[in-house]
Structure formats: structure tokens, C-alpha cells
């Protein structure tokens, strides 16, 4: 199936089949894909919380304006942004890079200084919105990775982040629930799977500036 | 090639081969994939500006902190967020949906009211950050679509949006350059293609909440 077909196949699943579970090996593949997502300066200012616990999922329904798909989904993946990226994160990134590339930390000193000087010039608000933006790149990666594996997903912004932060104990770890994806397999009763995808015409959404 | 291999294959290309051009049919495929990206409420609050004009690309280098890859890339894709999504956008989306699904506008009245009531409750600032977040989902989709087609890409946040807005005449159309991707083919001189990807360990970035 071509990439365009995969994108056509996927849709924001409204109703999952509660009897079907995504195998753990496949969940791991999705998480690996998310971990390979691009991020600004490579800093990956986020964490992925995977919920597979019917009691907790039921509680999260209340924090998601009553949307039952959170309970019916096989797993719920919460992409949580770091609320304040700082020196420790940059140092951890540089250390990890040096380790993986078998380099001396000193060889990465310029890169480290460059990132430090950018990030330290940002307001706390800017750091937070920047971290949240990176979470949305991950979401784009996840949706395609799920479609590639024929796993259904519903990306969701309709939830109360503060309640999620509380229920999942995120705030005390400097994290904020930014966006979530429920994953599983579409119920045969979900009529939305038959709906024609609504998108803008290509020549409305694209503008070419060619010489 | 598996999806994970594609994600491993791609990297933020630092130096493009200036003699190689991405065929237009493939650029169109990338744009179709971007147009199929998921967006909140389906509203697609953005536009894609594709630049293939060496003079304009040279000018954009100055607005990108001198990064020559903007000039050497085959094409530069600017993902521009709408600065203020409003009733007209929602009406356009509902009309398009009704047209594509061969429905009467009246059948979509509830959906329209629901979106209207959400969006109209947001501050201008919130509308803008929301629109920008959707652009990052598109970026995630684009990077994977490019890798799928063996096209190299460099996602870039390091540019001056106001200058881009001015040079591309975006502001007067209610648009703001949010994030860009230079696309083309990696130069054999780009040493970064050989660097091991630096990513966090999976058990550091993932937290499982299983019953």
C-alpha cells in the first residue's frame, strides 16, 4: 500500500472494538518510530506515557469530555511536553550523542554552546510552546506509523490537560499532557470509516513560487 | 524498507547536491500527503508555499541566518499558519465536506455549531498557537513522506518568520511562516549522513502505565 493509500486508509477513529488489543511488539514499534521523530536541536523535549489500564482509562474518560473511545481503545498514548527545557536537558543530549557516536564530549562543545545560547535566550513561555510544537511532530509521525502497521488511531486535543497531568502525576516531573492518541482497531459500527475524507483542494492549499 | 528503516535513513540534511532536482510529480505527491495530514476539527488552518526560484531562495538565505541549504535545496516548502481562524474558515470546511460527501449543508449544522462554539471561545493568541501546532503535524507527515520517496529533507525552525512573511507576501493573506523544510538530495560531502542518530533510550522516553 502506498503512503498516500495509508493516509487515505487512516481516519480519526471514533469507536474502537473493545475486544481487540494491539500486540505489545507493535506498540513498541510505534514508540520506536515516535522516538525517531525529528525535533528541534534533537532535544526531544517530551515523554510518551502509554496507558493500558481499563480503570485508569475510565477515569481519563472524565477528563476527556466523556469520550468513551479513551476507554474502548486498546492503548492511550499521551505525548507530554517538558514544561521547562534547561541546561540539564542539553547536557543529557550532548552526553547521549557523544556516547552513541563514540566521541569525546569536548568535540561537541561548540554544538552545546550554540544550543545553550539559543535556549537560554527564550522566555519560559517560549520554551514551553516550543516543546509542545515538537510533540505535534511526534503526533504526525505516530499517525503515519500506526497506519503503516494497520493500527487505527484517534488523535485528540479534546481533553483537560490539567486533569491528565494530575491523574498521571506529570506536573511533578516537569511534564504537561499536550496531545494524545487513542490506538486500537476500528469497530465495525464506526460509520466514520466509510466517510469520504474532507480535505481542501490541492490548488487551494498550495501556492507555487517558481521562477 | 520498513517504516523504522525509513526513519533511520532520513536525517536533517545539512548540504544538498545543487545539481539534483526533485521531479515535480514527486513534489506533488509530497503535497498530497501533507494535505492528508490530520488537523484539529479537520480545519487545516495553513497553507503550503513551495519555492523553486534560485533568486528568491538566495534572498531567503539572508532570512535564514545565512544557511546555504535554502539556496542549494531543490525546493523549499514553507508551512504557513493562518493567523486568525474564523467563521469563514469553518464555513468553507463545512461546505467542502458537504460537497465531497454529497450531503446537504443542513445535515452538518450540528458539527458546524460545535466547531464554531469552540473556536469562537478562544483568544486570538490561542487561535494562532493552535494553527501553528497543526503545522507541526504536517511537518511530521512531510518528513516521513519524503523519506518514503527517498527524498532528503531538512526541517528548519532557524529562520526569521517576519522576513519570510514579508518576502513571500504572507501577512496580507493572514498567514505566518511557521516552519519550513528544504527538500532535495543529500550531497556526498554532507558528513552528517554518516552520523549515528542520537536519540534517547526507549525506556527513558517512554513510561508504561499498565494494569
Contact A207 B138 (CB under 8 A): no
Minimal Cα distance from B133: which residue of A?
A133
What pLDDT is stored for residue A1 in this prediction?
A: 86
Minimal Cα–Cα distance from A207 to chain B, Å?
5
Gap between the Cα atoms of A34 and A22, Å rounded: 16
Assembly ipTM: 0.98
Contacts with B112 from chain A: Cβ below 8 Å? none
Q: Please name the member of B44, B143, B149 whose beta carbon is closest to the beta carbon of A38.
A: B143
Residues of chain B with pLDDT under 50: none
Contact B140 A145 (CB under 8 A): no
Contact A207 B48 (CB under 8 A): yes
- The string of pLDDT tens digits covering residues A114-169 is 999 999 999 999 999 999 999 999 999 999 999 999 999 999 999 999 999 999 99
Contact A97 B168 (CB under 8 A): no
Contact A197 B138 (CB under 8 A): no
Q: Judge whether residue A14 has pLDDT over 90.
A: yes
Contacts with A149 from chain B: Cβ below 8 Å? 3
What pLDDT is stored for residue B1 in this prediction?
A: 86
Gap between the Cα atoms of A153 and A135, Å rounded: 16
Q: Judge whether residue A31 has pLDDT over 90.
A: yes
Dihedral over Cα of B147, B149, B150, B155: its sign: negative
Minimal Cα distance from B46: which residue of A?
A205
Mutation target among A2, A6, A7, A121 for the B interface, most CBs of B within 10 A: A7
H or E element: which one contains B175?
A: strand B175-184
What pLDDT is stored for residue B33 in this prediction?
A: 98
Contact B48 A8 (CB under 8 A): no
Contacts with A8 from chain B: Cβ below 8 Å? 36
Contact A140 B140 (CB under 8 A): yes
Nearest to A74 by CA among A29, A27, A12: A27
Dihedral over Cα of B170, A197, A13, A23: its sign: negative
Q: Judge whether residue A63 has pLDDT over 90.
A: yes
Average pLDDT, integer, range A24-38: 98
Contacts with A101 from chain B: Cβ below 8 Å? 195-196, 198
Instruction: Please classify residue B201 by burial: count the beta carbons closer than 10 Å to its beta carbon, then call 0-12 exposed, 13-18 middle and 19+ buried.
Output: exposed
Minimal Cα–Cα distance from B42 to chain A, Å?
7
- The string of pLDDT tens digits covering residues B113-162 is 999 999 999 999 999 999 999 999 999 999 999 999 999 999 999 999 99
pTM, rounded to two decimals: 0.98
Contact A141 B140 (CB under 8 A): yes
- The string of pLDDT tens digits covering residues A195-211 is 999 999 999 999 999 99
- The string of pLDDT tens digits covering residues A170-188 is 999 999 999 999 999 999 9
Nearest to A143 by CA among A201, A77, A204: A77
Q: Which domains does chain B have, with CATH numbers?
A: 3-205 (3.40.109.10)
Contacts with A31 from chain B: Cβ below 8 Å? 202, 205-206
Amino acid at each position: 500500500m502506498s503512503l498516500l493509500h495509508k493516509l487515505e486508509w487512516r481516519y480519526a477513529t471514533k469507536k474502537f472494538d473493545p475486544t481487540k488489543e494491539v500486540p505489545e511488539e507493535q506498540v513498541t514499534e510505534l514508540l520506536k518510530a515516535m522516538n525517531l521523530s525529528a525535533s528541534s536541536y534533537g532535544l526531544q523535549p517530551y515523554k510518551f506515557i502509554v496507558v493500558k489500564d481499563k480503570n485508569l482509562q475510565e477515569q481519563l474518560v472524565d477528563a476527556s469530555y466523556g469520550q468513551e473511545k479513551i476507554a474502548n481503545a486498546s492503548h492511550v498514548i499521551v505525548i507530554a511536553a517538558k514544561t521547562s527545557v534547561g541546561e540539564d536537558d542539553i547536557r543529557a543530549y550532548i552526553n547521549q550523542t557523544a556516547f552513541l557516536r563514540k566521541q569525546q564530549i569536548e568535540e561537541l562543545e561548540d554544538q552545546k554552546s550554540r544550543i545553550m545560547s539559543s535556549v537560554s535566550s527564550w522566555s519560559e513561555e517560549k520554551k514551553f510552546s516550543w516543546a509542545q510544537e515538537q510533540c505535534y511532530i511526534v503526533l504526525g509521525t505516530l499517525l503515519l506509523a500506526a497506519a503503516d502497521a494497520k493500527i487505527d488511531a484517534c488523535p485528540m486535543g479534546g481533553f483537560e490537560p490539567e486533569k491528565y497531568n494530575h491523574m498521571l502525576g506529570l506536573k511533578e516531573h516537569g511534564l504537561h499532557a499536550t496531545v494524545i492518541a487513542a490506538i486500537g482497531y476500528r469497530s465495525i459500527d464506526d460509520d466514520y470509516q466509510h466517510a469520504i475524507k474532507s480535505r481542501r483542494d490541492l490548488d487551494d492549499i498550495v501556492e507555487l513560487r517558481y521562477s
